[in-house]
Amino acid sequence: MATIISHSAEETRALGRDWGQQAESAMVFALAGELGAGKTQLVKGIALGLGIPGRVHSPTFALVNAYAGGRLPLFHLDLYRLDSLEQIIDAGLEEYLAPLGVAVIEWADRWPDLERRVPGRLRRVHLETLSPTERRIAYEDSRA
């Protein structure tokens, strides 16, 4: 597992931008970490790297925000309000595990057996708050 220390929200977005520039269609980013750890900042960076125009914000109440206009579409999922696999399935979110574009799932640790369910490339990312400005970002790819 690779680890990066980000010293600011700008550095977290820059990491996401690099990942977005390298992302391929059907890639899924699974983000985990406590509130305020920088998950949404990372998603904003991925959107920048994909060339997505406009404002990116967390879909906490909508569950999914879809963004077009970039090199690939971006599907931004937020599982914060969901407590079980049944709720995730009932919400119709399984289709985003093989996206025609890139999917980013915040609170991905709420989705049991996610790695087994993603047919393509999956990057698991854990963000941890070290200080008010520093974050430890650990990540690992599967099925490259």
Please tell me the predicted confidence (pLDDT) of residue 94: 94
Nearest to 2 by CA among 111, 122, 132, 124: 124
Q: What is the CATH number of the domain that holds 114?
A: 3.40.50.300
Residue 96, pLDDT score: 95
- Residue 37's identity, in one-letter code, is A
CA distance 100 to 129: 32
16-74: pLDDT as tens digits: 999 999 999 999 999 999 999 999 999 999 999 999 988 998 887 889 999 999 999 99
Output the CA torsion sign for 7, 8, 9, 14.
negative
pLDDT category, 9, cuts 50, 70, 90?
Answer: very high
Which range, of 48-52, 111-115, 131-135, averages the lowest pLDDT? 111-115
Across the chain, mean pLDDT equals 94
What is the residue range of 7's domain?
2-142
Kind of pairing between the strands at 64-67 and 27-32: unpaired
Question: Do residues 13 and 45 make contact, with C-beta atoms less than 8 angstroms apart?
Answer: yes
Cα–Cα distance, 139 to 42 (Å, whole number)? 12
Considering its fold, how many domains does the chain have in total? 1
Specify the pairing of strand 122-129 against strand 64-67.
unpaired
pLDDT confidence of residue 47? 98
